Each structure stands twice: as C-alpha cells, then as structure tokens.
C-alpha cells in the first residue's frame, strides 16, 4: 500500500526487453534499507525489487503490466516518481493507493494559473464513471484532487511544490499517464451496480 506522496524522483539507467522487461532505476533512497522483494511504486506501478546496488535497484515488469501502463515507453534517462511502501505508523498524507494501475490517461492540456498549473486529462471511457469532483486519483503515482469532470475529461491543479518534487514539472499535452482510480470510488460504484441503484 502507498499514499501517493512521492518521496524520490528516480532515473531509468537501463532497460532490457524480451517478452517481459527489466529496468534498473537510480534512486536517492538508501538501498541498504531496501530488501530484495520489497515493493516500490514507480510512476504509480507497484513493482518488486529483484536486485540492488549502492544507488540503484532493479525490477522485472511483466508483459501484462506493460500492456496496462505507460512503462513500455521507459528508456534510459527518463525520470520517474518513486514511493516506498507504507510501514505501520507512517503518516497517511495522500490517499490509499494500491499501485495497481487501472489504465492510461492522456494529457489534454496544460495551463499555468499563477504559480499553479491546471492539467486536464482524458480518462478511458470505462474508468470515467469512477472520477468525481473533489475525489482523489493517483496519476503517475501522485495523489491528486480532481477539480472538475466533463464526461471523460477531468482536471487537477498542480501547486509549485508538487511540480518541484515530482516529474510533474515537465508535463506536456499528449503525455500518457498511469491512472489509478480511488479504491473507495470503485467499491461504491460496484455496490450501486449490485443493488441496482
């Protein structure tokens, strides 16, 4: 489990493909405190650490994950949002995030508004019903509040701090972004569907 509060921005060092994919990610985390088998959300995708070095870790990414996320576009030099898994007693500053990406949203527009930036996204049709104004979404692993929804297009506002400590400072129209809808929204919608309301 994660919170969507990004704690490091890593960099893809190397990618090996062949059905599945292996990626080496450079990190500012103290890798001496990371165990093989640990989960680290990388651009919002919960990935398992399979190898470690002094300032990097490696993950294996299945073909299934590649088909459902934007990780197939990873290449050396790409910056990625990182978050280590929650521990008992950690502050829950964002919202509950599983790291199980539901789909890929497309950035429709990026507009500066004072020191903040308004970003609008087009969600896959099947996921749009789970996105509501003032609800939460995880985008590339970042917990964000939805400002407005119009059909399958929704907007969020990025404050200067978020743009500085994540990869969001470089967002552009046309970008493909990992989208995880709020777990609570998913269960509320399922309950309504089952009860026929």
Q: Which CATH class is domain 8-84?
A: mainly beta
Phi (first) and psi of residue 180, to 5 degrees: -120, 120
Distances (CA, A) of 87 to 2, 90, 140, 142: 9, 6, 21, 18
| pLDDT tens, residue by residue, 53-101 | 999 999 999 999 999 999 999 999 999 999 999 887 777 787 888 899 9
Q: Quick one: fold of 103-195?
A: Elongation Factor Tu (Ef-tu); domain 3 (2.40.30)
Where helices occur in 38-197 by DSSP H, the ranges are 63-68, 125-128, 160-165, 183-195
Q: What does the pLDDT read at residue 197?
A: 60
Of the candidate ranges 82-91, 134-143, 162-171, the one whose mean pLDDT is the lowest: 82-91
Percent of the chain with pLDDT over 90: 83
Q: What does the pLDDT read at residue 105?
A: 98
Using an 8 Å Cβ cutoff, are 141 and 81 in contact?
yes
Domain with CATH 2.40.30.20 in the chain: 8-84, 103-195
Using an 8 Å Cβ cutoff, are 4 and 143 in contact?
yes
- pLDDT surpasses 80 at 190: no
DSSP H or E stretch at residue 52 = strand 45-52
């Amino acid at each position: 489990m994660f919170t969507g509060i990004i704690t490091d921005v890593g960099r893809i060092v190397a990618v090996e493909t062949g059905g599945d994919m292996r990626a080496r990610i450079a990190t500012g985390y103290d890798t001496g405190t990371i165990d093989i088998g640990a989960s680290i959300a990388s651009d919002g995708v919960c990935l398992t650490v399979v190898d470690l070095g002094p300032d990097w870790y490696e993950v294996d990414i299945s073909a299934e994950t590649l088909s459902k996320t934007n990780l197939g576009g990873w290449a050396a030099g790409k910056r990625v949002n990182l978050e280590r898994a929650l521990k008992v007693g950690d502050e829950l500053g964002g919202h509950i995030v599983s790291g199980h990406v539901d789909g890929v949203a497309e950035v429709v527009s990026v507009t500066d508004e004072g020191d903040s930036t308004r970003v609008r996204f087009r969600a896959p049709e099947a996921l749009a019903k789970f996105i509501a104004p003032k609800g939460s979404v995880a985008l590339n692993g970042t917990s964000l509040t939805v400002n407005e929804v119009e059909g399958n297009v929704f907007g969020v506002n990025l404050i200067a701090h978020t743009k500085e400590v994540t990869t969001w400072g470089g967002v552009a129209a046309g970008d493909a972004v990992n989208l995880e809808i709020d777990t609570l929204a998913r269960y509320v919608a399922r309950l309504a569907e089952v009860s026929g309301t």
